[in-house]
Amino acid sequence: MISSVSFHPFISSLPIALLFSGLLLLLLAHRRRESNNTGVASFNLSMGFIAALMADFSGMLSVDIHSWSTVTILSHQGYSFLVTVLFGFAVGWSYTQPFSKTALFIYIMCTLAMLACVYSGYQLVFS
């Protein structure tokens, strides 16, 4: 059986990969002017959102086992919560208005929040 300690690192890589692949597919659809071909990108973002929820919950279980400082944990949890909320908005906009200015703003903010979350997770593991 996989414990929550070893499950979180495996599941937390999925939202990262699915976010960037979904945004890359949206970019390709926009460049080719194929606004009807955004289904795969939206599906990637949907699966990434589900994986982000699973990573959030598995991370909450992992926190109880380790003895990290509160500031480090809370920063990573804050970024992961922000990423999950922005991921949900990105999924919604990718299905309804994938190339609007609001969607572009949400995609950029989600990417920046994901990078901050990845960096804070990196600090938890390697410091």
Tokens representing 93?
């906009």
Check pLDDT > 60 for residue 2: no
Residue type, 25: L
Has this prediction a pTM greater than 0.85? yes
Check pLDDT > 70 for residue 12: yes
pLDDT in the model for residue 114: 96
**Pick from 47, 118, 126, 42: nearest CA to 80:** 118
Please write the tens of the pLDDT for every residue from 51-85: 999 999 888 877 766 666 777 788 889 999 999 99
Measured CA to CA, the distance from residue 85 to residue 93 in angstroms comes to 13
Measured CA to CA, the distance from residue 53 to residue 67 in angstroms comes to 23
